[in-house]
Structure 1
Amino acid sequence: MDNVDDDIGLGKQKLSKIAKVKNKQPAPVQITAEQLLREAKERELELVQPPPKQKISDAAELRDYQMRKRKAFEDNIRKNRSVIANWLKYASWEESQHALRNARSVYERALDVDHRNITIWLKYAEMEMKNKQINSARNVWDRAVTILPRANQFWYKYTYMEELLGNMAGCRQVFERWMEWEPEEQAWHSFINFELRYKELDRARVLYERFVIVHPEVKNWIKYARFEEKNGFIASSRRIYERAVDYFGDEHINEQLLIAFAKFEEGQKEHERARVIYKFALDRLPKDKCDEIYRLYTIHEKKFGDRSAIEDVIVSKRRFHYEEEVKQNPFNYDAWFDYVRLLESDDGDGVQVREIYERAISNVPPSAEKRHWRRYIYLWINYALYEELQARDYERTRQVYKACLDLVPHKKFTFAKVWVMFAKFEIRQKNLPGARKIMGTAIGKCPKDKLFRQYIELELQLREFDRCRALYEKFLEFSPENCNTWIKYAELETILNDIERARAIYQLAISQPQLDMPEILWKAFIDFETKLEEFDNVRRLYKELLKRTQHVKVWISYAQFELSVADENSVRKCREVYRQANKEMKLNDAREERVMLLDVWKQFEFDHGDEHYLMSVEKLQPSKVKRTRRVETQGSEQSYFEEYYDYIFPDEEGAKPNLKILAMAKSWKKQEQEEQ
């Protein structure tokens, strides 16, 4: 051993001496790992060639071929007996050589290795059936179902084979052997369907009886009863339902079973029996499982029985549910809405409805914020509508409205909807003074835009125009900045053909120091004068407006107005407006607005002018340049530069050098492109 170790040590020293590399410089041509793998694969493909196809011409050559194949299969099996695929390939090859005896031998040897492998049994039996070896196939199936009785594939294929051969007695015998093992539900259904295919109704009924004993689930009892009903055994079907109810008892009673039982009795016109079953279910089942029972019971009573009894049951159940909800949270106004809606559809005299409404409105929101009162106020509104429309107690309706308005803290907030509904109720009662008093009180206590508008609309419908004028005046005293109010007031006077009064209203409106939307007010005033064809007044308005604002849209609108006036000087006047606008914007250094104005002016000259005027406008068009500016960051001393686009107009003194530079740059770029 020592000599051997010495030899090994000497060999390692020699190898280390040989493997030592002195020149560690990289080779001039580098070889990648991918290239090495590709070359190795190419050499492997060159060496491995597919074997030539062998053509067998005589018996000796066939025997030689079979001997070599069997030897190869046996070698594979010898290497690993547990690989079932090798056995199956071997048996399949023997079958292809029509050597059934050898194939059986292979299958038997495979079963010795793994007799619980389902695939081996299936392939074995299928081989026998394929080659019409019926008795051998029966033998295989018998052995398979004896060894593996819980493998349902064997039983299904075995019974299918016997039925296919017309051996009904044998097929039935196999089914009976299978049923002794109490298999799954589908197996029983297969047996029952087999008997029904051959008109053996009595045998099928017996099987169903055995089936519900082995699998006593609710759905199986229902199937059994429906099977009996379908085949005309009504009394037997009823007994099955009764047996099922007794089987499950009160502790495990099922709603689906009782529903099916009740529907069966309905189908047999036994409505009293169905009613008893529904009541039995409602008494025995938990409340959370009674929703479907209640629904079906209601439908049954509406069709065939007295509606009042079932309605009382349903209302009582739902009332209990809502009572629990409002006890847990008395400020859950949605629950109160559902509660009173239930009673409104059921209560005849209204006593219970009024009681619930009174209990609901007694839960006043503890907060003084309007958003917490919104749902609560609708309880009062619904209460008043119920008294007016359903109970038709108009005096009580009036009391409900008054109580609601007394409860609302009008100094903090109000609900205009309640005031308006109260006034409209009085109008429906032909109490016009009362309605006016209500609206006047509302405006005096808590003036709101909606209250003024509704009151004015009411007086307009009554054609009380003097009252409308008075209301508009109070409205404008309350909210003088509301442009819509001024416009509506002026429109009213226009409708009444009082033009001077309407003009005075518009004039007064535009003189207000503060307006919420002055642009729509000026537009309405200008449109008003335009419709009257008072063009001098329109020009005066435009000039007055331009003293207040130099917005480009005002100038454009002014120019378009001059163009719309149908006379011989309209184009000239329009051009003058554009020129004046351009001059003012130049003085104000409004570059963006000036560009917009020049675009509109250019289009105008293109449509209505000549080439001379068009060229004069084009000479005013600016050049667009990109510039950089410093931007200071808020809250810190840091800053950064950003690029922006600016416009250089030809008529600006400081722009002349820049324009000259831009012209030279364009000329140089054009020359460079021509040389290329």
Structure 2
Amino acid sequence: MATEEEVPEAEAAAAVAPAPAGGGGDDAEMPDAAAPSGSDSDSSDSDDEGAGGVDELRIQALERTLQEQPLDYETHVQYIQCLRKSGNIEKLRAAREEMNKYFPLTPKMWQEWAKDEISLSMSEESFADIEKLYERGVQEYLSIKLWRDYLDYVEEHDPSVSQCTTSGLSKMRDLFERAITAGGLHVTEGSKLWAAYREYEMAILITISDDNDEERAKQVQRIRMLFHRQLSVPLAEMESTLSEYKIWEAEQGNENDPGSNFDGVPSNVVSAYKKANDMYNERKQYEDQLSNAGASEADKLQEFLKYLKFEESSGDPARVQVLYERAVSELPVSTDVWIGYTSYLDRTLKVPSVLRSVYHRATRNCTWVGELWVHYLLSLERVRASEEELRNVFERAVQCSFPTIQEYLNIYLTRVHSLRRRISDGLDFQLIRQTFKNAAEFLSPQLGTKELLHLNAYWAKLERSLGKDLSAARVVWENAIKKSGSVLEVWQQYISMEVEMGHIHEARSLYKRCYSKRFAGSGSEDICHAWIRFEEEHGTLDDYDLAVKKVTPRLKELMVFKSQEEAKVEAYSMLNDNSNADDSSQKRKASKMTNKQQPPAKKRKENPPKSVKSSDDQEKTQSGHSGAVTAVEVGEASTEMKVDSNCRTGNTGSNEPKPSFYNDKCTVFVSNIDLKATEDDLRRFFSDIGGATAIRLLKDKFTKKSRGLAYVDFSDNKHLEAALQKNKHRLLGKKVSIARSDPSRSKKSREAGPSSKGYDNLPQSGDDGAKAPGSSRPEKEVPKGDVKITGKNTAFAPRSVVKPLGWTTKDEKPDGGAGELKSNEEFRNLLLKK
């Protein structure tokens, strides 16, 4: 759907779009479908036919886009404008109805719609339909112009009104009163509605015969009261209204002094006028700021917020409501304004019809704001809305696109809370159960552990307390264990439920199932101690002894594991210190031996490895500590390096040619992609700029599902730069991030190989992946020099565990069977030949 930035731009596009042929501006009428006949040259006819063909192609393209993306606001606007030009009234009606199904239309759009329909039919049958259009339009946004058009249309085309029948007079006056209620307090434009009302009543006065003194007197008094009401409202041009009133009173035979402002004006009207004038002067500074045509939307929002704060402090709810209506009309997708408006109504007015209307419009303008939907559901519950209405709003809410999964969770929980509170009204508990099932199915893949735990705990609690179904509550926890069995809190809450219900045997069974599991941090020890405390408080002596028998070896095992981890940390710390000392020592030695001839093998190396300690020294350092390298670990390290090299070079161990890799020379990296998006969606997303030659959507190697990442290759830099401009645009409701792919950076990191210390690339061990404090290396890295490798297979051993030739402190001779140490480039070439 349209984003916050797209909607105002689309509305601006609609406002400046060319008017259809046959008129201009707001008064333009629909063109005739048939081209006029005449004796002009054939070239003009061919030009018209060519233009019509282009318009038809444009319409077809927009129709295809809307079929694929029905929530594209700007495309709806363009489609309607094209149909207005073509004169296809049936399609135009359908297009407007389709757009209004998803979005509120601007006052400008409603005016165009009504004028188009009026120009096509003037029959009495069409009057009711056009009246409904105006009625729908004034419900969406406050627009003084739209209200004036509505009033003028009814006054001119309604037979009962134009004939001044009793029913017609009553209908027209009720419509004027509605208009005054909606916009009569509009400080700058409200006087237009008051003036229209007075003019209508003055026209009625003319139709009353002079003989009917009683009726004329009532009509005069009605007009006088309109003047008095308007003069008590803070509006622009109040002095002009006062002058009109005095002139009108003089026409009725009431003498007054034109030079005196209040001569002939009743004292109560004078008092109300002065108070209203003072109120207007207090608001004039805010109105002047809002009238600044060059102000940005952000600046206008801040001015509205200041103005609203001032009006709320004055304590007049009607005036605050009108100002909020003005704000949402000018800033229809401002979340702050809608949230402020609905919250104010919840606190003050609490009128059900007003609340329903405002919340309905708020959620149509800002569908992506979960907070608005939550408040909407709560507001409906406060006014005791029906279950059907609440269900409809909830179903609309969960179908929207929200930026975070937490907002979906809040809406589901709000729905459950509402059902729980109304269960005493006769609601079926199955509604609550089904809501929880839908929530778990929809949210589990993306919800965090803490939030999911809260959802399951609440579900199980209601199954026990309201559903009276303990087995269903246990099913909830068993399903939670299947998905999050490694989370200690899941087991703890499951056990707490059983203990609370007095089911000691079931709680003990849960302890037996989980005491040997591995939990994060100190969770494994905590669950063991918890079992002991449980048996002390609830079990027999035999139960206690059994728990101790089970738990004791587990705790010892955990202590041994912990001591080993601490020893590794200490070993790595010592190794780092010794390595630094050796490096500095070797540097001093190198400075003294600058004139000595270097071994030939070292001359061929571009980046010779730094000096390492001898095997004997390393063995002394590592004595008494766990984690010594075994032959199996060395083999695993060699295998891992070989596999990693094969992956980088494309060698799969067969005689197949090396596959070609993308060089990413003209590629963008796209992230934060909706997981439902396909390569076709990405292709359509970049279709407006063109130039995309290949799309690679990254998928999980096990589930084959999208990871939300993709590479898109472009034919040249021009198209690539255009693609970068689409950064933060929405694809299937989510803002995607687009950045240039930088292959040189990854290539450098690959070519850098092992770190200078020589053991950063060794395989890791351990399930939790914990790291030594202050170190970026895995816990079970293998220090250099622990293993002395001899024989021909040293050419394939990781460099971090091979003692390079010629680099020992003694002139040791290499093993006769040892091959020359291979460089990185030689190592890769050798693998490629295999």
Judge same fold: TM > 0.5, yes or no: no
Which is greater in Rg?
A: 1
The interval holding the TM-score normalised by the smaller chain is 0.3 to 0.5
- Could you say which structure has the higher helix fraction? 1
* Higher RCO, Cα 8 Å, sep 6+: 2
Normalising to structure 1: TM-score of the pair? 0.36
